[in-house]
Amino acid sequence: MSERSRKGDEAAQLKKLQRAEEGKKAMSEYEAAAAAVLAKTERLRALRLAHEAAERAAAEAAPKPGKKSKKKVLKAEV
């Protein structure tokens, strides 16, 4: 009976080690996926901020449609 018990203990230990290894592998995969998502988020944020800054600069450089410059008004009156 002790031989059966020993085999059962060995099998239980083997299963326990296998579960621990699977857990480590799953955790490393989870961490790798999280790091990939974070890197992608940072890249997209940088692209969005650059695009917004370019739009803002273009809007500031473009003349505003509702206002007339004083030079044009003076030329029209003369």
Q: Residue 55 has which token pair?
A: 């739009």
**At 76, is the pLDDT very low, low, confident or very high (cuts 50, 70, 90)?**
low
Q: Residue 7 has which token pair?
A: 């085999």
Q: Please tell me whether the overall predicted TM-score, pTM, comes out greater than 0.75 for this model.
A: no
Range of the domain at 42: 2-77
**Three-class SS of residue 58?**
helix
pLDDT value of residue 67: 61
Q: Which tens digits make up the pLDDT trace of 18-42?
A: 999 999 999 999 999 999 999 999 9
Q: How many domains does the chain have?
A: 1
pLDDT value of residue 47: 98
Place of tokens 């003076």: 74
Q: Which tens digits make up the pLDDT trace of 47-74?
A: 999 999 999 999 998 877 766 666 655 5
